[in-house]
Amino acid sequence: MNFDVKAKTTEELEQIVSDSKSPLKRVQSLLELSHRLALKDLLRSWLLAREAERDAEELNQTSLVAQANIYAANALWKMGDYVNAQKHFLRATEQYISLNDRNGLSNALCGLGIVHGSLKDYPQALDYFERALIESEAAGNKTRTANCIGNIGSVHHYLENYSKSEAFFHKALEIHEQLNEKPGIANMLNGLAGIKVYTGKFDEAMDYLNKYMELATALENNHGIATGLMNYGIMYYKKSDFSQAITFLEKAMLHADSTKVRCVKFDIHKNLADVYTDMGKSEKALEHYKHYFAIEKEIKAKEIKQKAELFERRKNAENGGEKNVA
């Protein structure tokens, strides 16, 4: 039996979690709470998802276990824990394959693409996004189709294929606008702003960024706000307005710290280091480079661990030990 938890207020959901005598209703309420807090409180969103995962396993509700893994993975990715995020996405992938759920599978594959993109493993990220796109189109999920297209655009952006990236962003934006999906619209506006910054079209970049920040603020998307503030800083840096660049990058850092959006800090430190280097302030540059390299070292260590685990999983699969879903 399904309960209409989406129609409930946050307070009502909290009450259901505390008082419900129906284990299934409680799990669904936990998941909806996790989903609603995903933009505001990452740590709580993750904790709620893990609780839902444990309870759903006891109920033998595989689809809810998979959904909980997706929510947990999304929170972990935004907190910068890529290895554990990947583990949850891989579990969800296995579960959706067992359920023959192409829509859910597209979500898990897309998440794996995001993790590999965050680790700068762009060929693997692109492969996952393209596989996710095939699954989302087969499932008829226009929202996720747009998300996959946008993510492919992001990979091409990182590879400096700016014209190709812009084409993907516009295609995704068109779908999100047709569906009136504000989070998707915001993400594509931010992507287009980045293209304009890196191609030196600063007036167009400012227009896209302003529209993006208005949406991100209205949505209370803390990860998006931190990213947007950073992008303002990058834009001013590219314009050689170092004072404004530092102002926005420091605002981005404060917001990332206050909301535990750790994965953005890596790029903020790198950009602050670059600004201070160009200003000839070597001590300040070194301070931020140290933070940048410390996070990079941590990420690289996790990446090495991740690849070792993937190799071991593939070896076990080849020996018949487990199914290879990576």
Each residue of 249-287: pLDDT tens digit?
999 999 988 877 777 888 899 999 999 999 999 999 999
**What percent of the chain is predicted at pLDDT more than 90?**
67
Half-sphere exposure of 126 (CA within 13 A, CB side): 13
Q: Quick: pLDDT tens for 170-184.
A: 999 999 999 999 999
**Structure-derived torsion over alpha carbons of residues 40, 42, 43, 44, reported in degrees to the nearest 10:** 50
pLDDT band at 197 (very low <50, low <70, confident <90, very high): very high
CA–CA distance, 3 with 105 (Å, rounded to integer): 23
Return the CATH fold of 101-178.
1.25.40
Q: What is the pLDDT of residue 228?
A: 94
As a residue count, the chain comes to: 326
CA–CA distance, 124 with 117 (Å, rounded to integer): 8
CB 102 within 8 A of CB 138: yes
Averaged pLDDT for residues 188-195? 95
Q: What is the pLDDT of residue 308?
A: 59
Tokens of 260: 């535990």
Tokens of 136: 């989302």
Mean pLDDT over all residues of the chain? 88
pTM: 0.74
The separation between CA 258 and the C-alpha centre of its own chain, rounded to angstroms, equals 18
- With a cut of 80, say whether residue 117 has pLDDT above it: yes
Every domain of the chain and the residues it spans: 1-78, 101-178
pLDDT band at 1 (very low <50, low <70, confident <90, very high): very low
- With a cut of 60, say whether residue 236 has pLDDT above it: yes
CB 239 within 8 A of CB 202: yes
H helices present in the chain, as ranges: 10-19, 23-36, 42-58, 62-78, 82-99, 102-118, 122-139, 142-158, 162-179, 182-198, 202-218, 222-238, 242-258, 265-279, 282-318
Q: What is the pLDDT of residue 322?
A: 43
- Higher pLDDT among residues 19 and 130, named by residue: 130
Q: Quick: pLDDT tens for 279-317.
A: 999 999 999 988 878 776 666 665 556 555 655 655 565
Q: What is the pLDDT of residue 154?
A: 95
Out of 17-21, 66-70, 214-218, 231-235, pick the least confident.
17-21
Angle between helices 142-158 and 102-118 (to 10 degrees): 20
Q: What is the pLDDT of residue 180?
A: 96
- With a cut of 80, say whether residue 56 has pLDDT above it: yes
pLDDT band at 324 (very low <50, low <70, confident <90, very high): very low
Burial 42-62 (b: 16+ CB within 10 A, else e): beebbbbbbbbbebbeeeebb
Out of 14-18, 109-113, 201-205, 259-263, pick the least confident.
259-263
